[in-house]
Structure 1
Amino acid sequence: MRRRTFTASVGAAAAAAAVTAGTLPAWAREEGGRGGDAYVWKNAAINGGGFVPGIVFNETEPGLIYARTDIGGCYRWQEDTRTWKPLLDWVGRDKWGWSGVVSMATDPVETDRVYAAVGTYTTDWDPNNGAVLYSDDKGETWGAAELPFKQGGNMPGRGMGERLVVNPADNAELYLGTPSGNGLWRSKDYGRTWAKVENFPNPGNFVVDPNNPYSADNQGVIWIDFDQIGGRIYVGVADPADPLYVSEDGGATWQAVPGAVEALGSADGNRTIPVQSAVDNTNGYLYIVTSHDPGPYNGAPASGAGGKIMRLATQTGEWTDITPTYNPRGGIPGFGGITVDRQNPGTLMAATRNNWHPDEILFRSTDSGATWSISWDYAEGQERHDRFVMDNSGSPWLSWNGEDQGHAYAVKHGWMIDALAIDPHDSDRIMWGTGATIWGTESLTQWDAQGELIGENEAGERVALPIEQFTVGVRAEGVEECAVLDLAAIGGTLVSAVGDVGGFVHTDLDRAEPMIDTDWSTGTSVDFAQADPDLVVGTGNVHGDEKGHVGVSTDRGKTWRNTARVEGVPGSGHGGTVAITADGSAIVWSPSDTEVTPVYSTDLGETWQPVEGLPAGAKIRSDRVKASVLYSFAAGRFYRSTDGGKTFADTGATGLPSGAVEDFRAVPGRKNHVWLAGRGDETEGIGGGMWRSKDGGATWKRIAAFETAESVGFGKAARHSGYPTVYTSAERDGKAGIYRSTDGGNRWTRINDDDHQWAWSGSAITGDPQVYGRVYLTTNGRGIIYGDIA
């Protein structure tokens, strides 16, 4: 596969055939003849970067695998390239919640059919109800059956399930377990229409925290599984006093399973629920993992007993507790994923959930849970011993810029391991999802030949036994699910501020990079000195009170150092925005969510001084030409500094929305030129859209093309244009899209299409200063997207 670097040719004629610009309205025809350009869209490679709560193998077609993410859509595995293909990029801003996938089902009979239960929040954060999406071509195209309730792809419990299943005995029939007391639902027409199963007796009642809006929802009906020997349908419910139901007549009637309350509803006095299941249709066992919490965050309760693994003999009704009892670090904190090997009945695996330190544990049994072996162990006073080597070369940032610390490795098995799946066609292949990536191997059965990791010597001491390790590697290539907050395109280098993983510096867009080596938990803002682009700055949320929020690089992002802390700004958040003057002589930082006013530094962050004239939380940008000039916006007022950020003064500009400005940026090569994007303010009678100033923010002209704009950025000018190309993520005539102007904002064209919308892409946008037409944009769960003219 050809790598697309910053300097690679972008005139790929073959790609143009796959993308069409459509018929453009008159207002969209840019001067210069480039209005009809078709675009090819790709991701800058990060590989992962978020929670993968579900991995689903098709049971009858080898190599057909799907993965779901909590906010970034779902993916299909491509066996020939060992990469994942995104399937929901068509989801638009009006239905952005459909990018949160709470469950997936792949049809074992007609394998082209696949389904996704979507909806991001059960709270009012998501204005829309959920849906079940259905596809007859493996996710290439989709239909939607909208539901009369919300679903929680990014809510507590999103790794439980699967909540959506196809009945293997009648593949036109699907079941859906729902949250919020909505019960069990069923479709009899391949997911096209849905109805509540009125005679299902229990909608669940388990609530994590009734005092927290995010975790106060009833977890509901969690999963459905099929006993293909006896034709039974089992349903797990979030109710410690009534957790498991069965139907023996195809769903006509339902009964509580005898013994389920004692087996699943309590663990050493803790209320527990059945979070996942796996069925062995050869030996007649249903395996169920219980937990005191739906996850994916919380570890063990104070008692140390987080859950169990229970085995139900489906033909006799006998329950057996098969919970592993050994953990090198102490008690069992609870379990996440569970899976069975369909090629080797009696072989199953389970993962701890949030065994945090030093690492998660994978348990493996080859005798239906009677005995277990573990993925790593250590003897007292000895080094840790592992069955496999973790190869993170596919995502070098998975070391988190750390080093091994004794038993705690920098590169871990992961955490939040709810997705755990052995390939039903290949006992050597397993994949598991974590809070950051997908791990996998094609050498799994070597585990069984290794024997025990730790044994006893003649003196009765626990000692390590020699084994031949196999390799586990990243299997997330193509899964791009970061929430990206800011971008800076320097020319040959792209710097990003990214949620949860800090940020990255890309010099090759097809290569995943280590994360920026700062103390950021989430990067929030990046900038560079226009006249000296080797000087790069960024800011982000940090943990603790030891390092400063702002990071500085003097070598174009190759190496970084944290600046000094600013007195009065606590740790744990507050990244805000940062700007550096055009010549790099001063940095101005505005912390967010504090009462501390912005500060400036003239020694690259060694010391900070308070800025005069700005309120706390004001957004900061620098003029891209004039070194002494910076700009700021807060509460409807626009400010300007002419002394390198030491003091700011209100420009007196009027007509700007007070609280809904999403972004403003200064124009490269044009001193005093500033553009501002906003949603408008109905209470003040100010419409949204785009504003442009040519006098440093003193006066503004509203660009009439847009009702709403969320970001604005600039790139290389078109051949016959004297003004940098302008890009925005905005809404025109009710249609949200990515728009471009080559004539200073007089005329615009939408450059994306309905197949490429990425749910929401409004935090930041920028063009490339060296490649005409190339645009980079942020998404909330689909990573860094960039487009080139085909």
Structure 2
Amino acid sequence: MQRRTFLASIGAAAVAIALPPAPAQAKAHARGACTYTWKNAVVNGGGFVPGIVFNETEPNLIYARTDIGGCYRWQEGSRTWKPLLDWVGRDKWGYSGVVSMATDPVETNRVYAAVGTYTIDWDPNNGAVLYSDDKGDTWGIAELPFKQGGNMPGRGMGERLVVNPANNAELYLGTPSGNGLWRSLNYGRTWARVEEFPNAGNFVVDASNPVLADNQGVIWIDFDQIGGKIYVGVADPDDPLYVSEDGGATWQAVPGAAEALGTADGNRTIPTQSAVDNTNGYLYVVTSHDPGPYNGAPASGDGGRIQRLATQTGEWTDVTPSYNPRGVIPGFGGITVDRQNPGTLMAATRNNWWPDEILYRSTDSGQTWSLSWDYAEGQNRTDRFVMDNSGSPWLSWNGEDQGPAYAVKHGWMIDAFAIDPHNSDRIMWGTGATIWGTEELTKWDAQGELVGEDEAGQRVALPIEKFTVGVRAQGVEETASLDLAALGGALVSAVGDVGGFVHTNLDRAETMINTGWSTGTSVDFAQFNPDIIVGTGNVHGNEKGHVGVSTDRGRTWRNASRVEGVPGDGHGGTVAITADASVIVWSPNNTEVTPVYSTDLGETWNLVQGLPAGAKVRSDRVNQSVLYSFSGGTFYRSTDGGATFTDTGATGLPTAGVEDFRAVPGHKNHVWLAGRGDTEKDIAGGMWRSKDGGATWKPIVEFDTAESVGFGKAAKLSGYPAIYTSAEMNGKAAIYRSTDGGITWVRINDDDHQWAWSGSAITGDPWIYGRVYLTTNGRGIVYGDIAD
């Protein structure tokens, strides 16, 4: 393909839960393998979006990357995002962590993603650069000889991956862990280290902590298109910036960079992001004392600066905003330049935390700045825009405004921050939970100042016409979901970081379950009275109980009483409720806390007898007095409503690696268990079933391993419930279904729908034959229906 230069080239709607299909239709579908359609239960966001990249030459071509949930392409017609990495399978699950993206400004169909989730051994595979010639619809893979950190500290810095606009076959990649600067000369197909580049970085956050001990390395690459220079930011406070003036053949440290970028009020800092104004000849560099995304202010002084380098003269100017309503600036996250209006740029604070982040805007190349909000009349706050969270109502976090600390915030961890290069009115920014945006940005400049002084010299709010900022995360489903319960007409979920949801319409984002969970870990409902739902999750502090209870099908919730001796941080564990709702059993995720049971919906608790701490618990779906538990290779059963458990004496189960077990609706004493084999005990297989309450077990030999098991509407009247599992068969990890009680199994997903890892929970729908819901680690709550 002929190489072209930059200059030469210038000029699914989800289905709401419905009534069950007719038995004849269900029977027809049950005869063999069938095709599925896959969608998300809508949450809109739910995780960290560390990068948003606009193509510089094609309008409306926008990409977003997430730390564990893949990457997305914007669809202007529907104003939604399309997921691009659902094809990633369990064997390469780390490819769902996207550390950087690059969109080609010359051949705009080309896009690239640097992938790999951890630089430590949590991810067994090395990283890669994915390359696409069709805007991400299909991908090739260039494997790398080192790991990358899409979910490591510093993942919001960059972009580490870039296309050279003067020679779009050439790409550069900045790497962590001392691996230096890498380059491809053939559209990302092969890569080699740039041996001439002299500095691989040396900055670590905390050498004593394995997660924080990694060298942050080479952080970003940017291009001065006026002088043809290439700039590279490095995590080294003593030598933080390098430049090449001969197309990458040689590299020199930029004079004055250490003084400008390596210190801030006595703190050692690194250049975390950059932005170029190729009209006025400026390189803007943001510095921070920490790579983020979680850092707060340093022990003393400001945590970062905004420095401006005149690329033609080499002059450095500190253009840091001089004013922050809360005092010390903890550091800066994203920075962006308006390419339609040179001299206009914006920057975001990083982890200003209380009462909110601050967005700064300058229209004079950083000489003066205006703020997104300010104090007037003491602690009263005045704002330039209104935050509309109707696209994701849960973004209020079930809170209320408390003075200047609004329930709906600008966000936090704002590293992704980009003005549309084709439209000065559009900006998007990513946070730890969503994407915000507006198409009214230039109204900011007509507003003037937010505050002034009255006759007595007191600060007062000035009248301005506010514009609206709204959710722009539609289609970005990034939650890590941990457990599911399908009631029929409602889907209840336990979700990492955002607690959980009750969906009565899968096509609508809901408010979160109001229990104060930082992470939901387990949910259950009373089989004979599904209006009664219980859940548990991690909580902070010791004010609220971990267990939540709803008696109106999830519309309202209350926290059960706290259990003395259970620490407040974490420890959600598992929870079960008997089929008649008479007993709740809760097993905290704590190796020193005995499970407890309640006969009054969590008002009071009693110690369970016979169970070890941390044992998983489930209820029989028919027998009202029976519950089950598993721990360390031993299967337990209670016949007195959870007061006491005894070892069933079962043999042939693994001592470890059991991920899930569930009781079967409509079948007393039927239990299925999913896990892995046990080489020490010579136990093969990954799934077992019991028809006698866990006393004896039969292995399902088709599976090598299984992560989860669940049940849904039977294929025919009076038939055994459909069984669903996320499991591995003949070396292929996939979603499988059985309609004949586990005698035969068919795969129901395909290679385009694998979601990296989808193991912690799976369940069918009790009303709709064939519908299955499954959890993922970063791609939200996925559900599938048999295709018409």
> Match for 1:70 among 62, 67, 70?
67
Q: Distance in 1 between matches of 2:256 and 2:650?
A: 72
What is the match of residue 723 of structure 2?
726
CA deviation map 1:441-491 (0-9, x unaligned): 000000000000011223322111000000000000000010000000000
TM-score, scaled relative to structure 2 = 0.97
Matches within 5 A, 1:764-783: 764-783=761-780
CA deviation map 1:264-291 (0-9, x unaligned): 0001111000000000000000000000
Give the 3-state SS of the residue equivalent to 1:680 in structure 2. Answer: coil
Is the Cα–Cα contact under 8 Å of residues 721 and 742 in structure 1 kept in the other structure?
no
1:720 Cα deviation from its structure 2 partner: 5.9
CA deviation map 1:750-779 (0-9, x unaligned): 000000000000000000000000000000
Which range is displaced more, 302-311 or 351-360? 302-311
Matches within 5 A, 1:460-499: 460-499=457-496
Q: Distance in 2 between matches of 1:779 and 1:230?
A: 47
Q: Distance in 1 between matches of 2:479 and 2:14?
A: 21
Q: Distance in 1 between matches of 2:408 and 2:229?
A: 42
Structure 2 CA distance for partners of 1:743 and 1:31, relative to 1, 3 Å: farther
CA deviation map 1:338-386 (0-9, x unaligned): 0000000000000000000000000000000000000000124352100
Give the 3-state SS of the residue equivalent to 1:397 in structure 2. Answer: helix
What is the match of residue 23 of structure 1?
none
1:393 maps to a residue whose letter is: S
Structure 2 CA distance for partners of 1:306 and 1:32, relative to 1, 3 Å: closer
Matches within 5 A, 1:373-772: 373-381=370-378, 383-719=380-716, 722-772=719-769
Q: Distance in 1 between matches of 2:136 and 2:88?
A: 13
> Match for 1:7 among 18, 21, 33?
18
1:86 maps to a residue whose letter is: P
Q: Does 1:240 align with 2:237?
A: yes
What is the match of residue 191 of structure 1?
188
What is the match of residue 58 of structure 2?
61
CA deviation map 1:244-303 (0-9, x unaligned): 000000000000000000000001111000000000000000000000000000111010
Gap regions ≥5 residues in structure 2: 1-11
1:34 Cα deviation from its structure 2 partner: 3.1
Give the 3-state SS of the residue equivalent to 2:782 in structure 1. Answer: strand
What is the match of residue 25 of structure 1?
none
Matched-pair identity in %: 84
Q: Distance in 1 between matches of 2:605 and 2:496?
A: 26
Question: Size of the alignment, in residue pairs?
Answer: 772
What is the match of residue 214 of structure 1?
211
Q: Does 1:254 align with 2:259?
A: no
1:785 maps to a residue whose letter is: V
Q: Does 1:312 align with 2:309?
A: yes
Matches within 5 A, 1:268-283: 268-283=265-280
Give the 3-state SS of the residue equivalent to 1:698 in structure 2. Answer: coil
Give the 3-state SS of the residue equivalent to 1:189 in structure 2. Answer: coil
What is the match of residue 9 of structure 2?
none
Q: Distance in 2 between matches of 1:125 and 1:691?
A: 28
Q: Distance in 2 between matches of 1:2 and 1:246?
A: 48
1:714 maps to a residue whose letter is: F
Is the Cα–Cα contact under 8 Å of residues 174 and 187 in structure 1 kept in the other structure?
yes
Gap regions ≥5 residues in structure 1: 12-29
1:35 Cα deviation from its structure 2 partner: 2.0
CA deviation map 1:735-761 (0-9, x unaligned): 000000000000000000000000000
Structure 2 CA distance for partners of 1:641 and 1:33, relative to 1, 3 Å: closer
1:326 Cα deviation from its structure 2 partner: 0.6
Q: Distance in 1 between matches of 2:457 and 2:526?
A: 65
Q: Distance in 1 between matches of 2:174 and 2:639?
A: 60
CA RMSD of aligned residues (A): 1.2
Q: Distance in 1 between matches of 2:21 and 2:281?
A: 57
Is the Cα–Cα contact under 8 Å of residues 157 and 296 in structure 1 kept in the other structure?
yes
Is the Cα–Cα contact under 8 Å of residues 721 and 743 in structure 1 kept in the other structure?
no
CA deviation map 1:410-466 (0-9, x unaligned): 000000000000000000000000000000000000000000001122332211100
Is the Cα–Cα contact under 8 Å of residues 20 and 769 in structure 2 kept in the other structure?
no
Q: Distance in 2 between matches of 1:781 and 1:682?
A: 31
Q: Does 1:125 align with 2:136?
A: no
1:122 Cα deviation from its structure 2 partner: 0.1
Q: Distance in 1 between matches of 2:20 and 2:199?
A: 60
Point out 4+ residue stretches in structure 1 off by more than 6 angstroms. 8-11
1:4 maps to a residue whose letter is: V
Matches within 5 A, 1:158-169: 158-169=155-166
Q: Distance in 2 between matches of 1:556 and 1:383?
A: 40
Q: Does 1:363 align with 2:360?
A: yes
Is the Cα–Cα contact under 8 Å of residues 32 and 720 in structure 1 kept in the other structure?
no
Give the 3-state SS of the residue equivalent to 1:222 in structure 2. Answer: strand
Structure 2 CA distance for partners of 1:275 and 1:58, relative to 1, 3 Å: same
1:785 Cα deviation from its structure 2 partner: 0.2
1:651 Cα deviation from its structure 2 partner: 0.3
2:744 maps to a residue whose letter is: R
Q: Does 1:46 align with 2:43?
A: yes
Which range is displaced more, 328-337 or 362-371? 328-337
Q: Does 1:338 align with 2:335?
A: yes
What is the match of residue 200 of structure 1?
197
What is the match of residue 83 of structure 1?
80
What is the match of residue 297 of structure 2?
300
Which range is displaced more, 773-782 or 594-603? 594-603
Q: Distance in 1 between matches of 2:718 and 2:382?
A: 63
Is the Cα–Cα contact under 8 Å of residues 685 and 701 in structure 2 kept in the other structure?
no
Which range is displaced more, 455-464 or 147-156? 455-464
Matches within 5 A, 1:88-107: 88-107=85-104
